[in-house]
A and B are shown apart, each in its own frame.
Chain A
């Protein structure tokens, strides 16, 4: 099957096709949803060894300030993370907020080693045009955004990721979770961070696009590394309790409702000095009306996005925003929104799947423990 010709291709398109990737449209790109190994084995392989993901469809950009001041001061107006205090080589997960305190997107912000304090950001593929437009519109007089169209982005995730990558550059073993540095890999200068979206230890590697295929093939020569498609990427992030932008939150939902208050900087959540700060401070104090929770269906039937959540009397109380099967857990898992009275772990709820009410419980996330390599103090 050939992918739709109007779809964009990442620098690794040929590699996906050569390796039997089943190409599907995703955020305007032809992307591999799975390889011949299949989603289940790809998922388990990532948890046991190392998975190689092409995430080149995501938006990579530099943000510089126009007047030589800290660009983080400008973006903190619309992002609630503690970004000005980021030292070179440190990164944060943060949110792009609108004036109502709704989440337009989530993103990673890293301080580069450039003397001007330039920031490197990675945003979701489906949101990159929107995010860039918001940054331009809101902050265009203070910052310059430089999309990095000539770079591929490769994620290497799993417990063997460190050993695999350290063979090419031993210094990557010294990085802790959410740290980044410039590394020469096989003679190619890459930007490597210890981060990812699978709940596993691992790296994200920004590579010049012309070198991406050769570099990926070099990693794939290692028996511990398999190509992993979008299907397993989704089940891995769901097991890790991580949100999918546009699904598990959107522009109407606040960070409090979305249960991502960890993305609010400590001092910043006191000051409320960001877009939608009034609403968010008020919700921090009183709680949001509806909140995102983890859900464990009791049987084997998966409850997918859009499934209605009811109380035990059958009254609709919310909807599933992400759901499927967790291969590591060997059971269905989901996330969704319920009124705060139902948000406590263990609360019994029902899921309306194809007209049948299935028993389920509100459950803590992550469903599978995250295994990031944090700095030991």
Chain B
């Protein structure tokens, strides 16, 4: 199952674990990513907390936790190759995995069709 937030994050749900990244729309808007500051494994975040920072050549942008839960893994490939966020936003450019404290939080999120409509409305 894949879900989307209006902050342009994607969430792939596998059992009790969510893998989180930013969408193609978001990476295009940010431009060339030169650094990603990732959270530490084991830290607990609440929905909407600042969990990561993406730096493009021009500016820094915060990434907010789409769900509440604990960080279980981060994508260490981004340390050496932050441009993966641009070249492979929904695959190799994932940010982190987190446990899902409350599956009910997924209910309010957009599915792929709804997100595509949302983005179409922005362009």
Contact = CB atoms under 8 A, between A and B. Distances in A.
A14 to B, nearest CB: 21
Contacts of B59: 304
B56 interface: yes
A304 B79 contact: no
B101 interface: no
Given A300-B79, A300-B82, A40 B35 contact: no
Interface string A110-137: 0000000000000000000000000000
Given A300-B82, A301-B55, A354-B53, A325 B34 contact: yes
A33 B57 contact: no
A325 B57 contact: yes
Contact of B56 (A39, A43, A232): A39
B31 A325 contact: no
Contacts of B37: 301, 354
Interface in A284-314: 300-302, 304
Contacts of B41: none
A38 interface: yes
Interface residues of A, number: 20
B34 A300 contact: yes
Contacts of B53: 354
A38 B58 CA distance: 10
B32 interface: yes
A232 B53 CA distance: 21
A231 B34 contact: no
Given A301-B37, A302-B60, 10 more contacts: A38-B31, A39-B31, A39-B57, A40-B34, A232-B57, A235-B57, A300-B79, A325-B55, A327-B57, A354-B37
23 contacts: A38-B32, A39-B32, A39-B56, A39-B58, A40-B31, A40-B32, A40-B34, A40-B57, A231-B31, A231-B58, A232-B57, A235-B57, A300-B34, A300-B82, A301-B35, A301-B37, A302-B34, A302-B35, A324-B58, A325-B35, A325-B55, A325-B57, A354-B37
Interface of A: 33-34, 38-41, 43, 231-232, 234-235, 300-302, 304, 324-325, 327, 332, 354
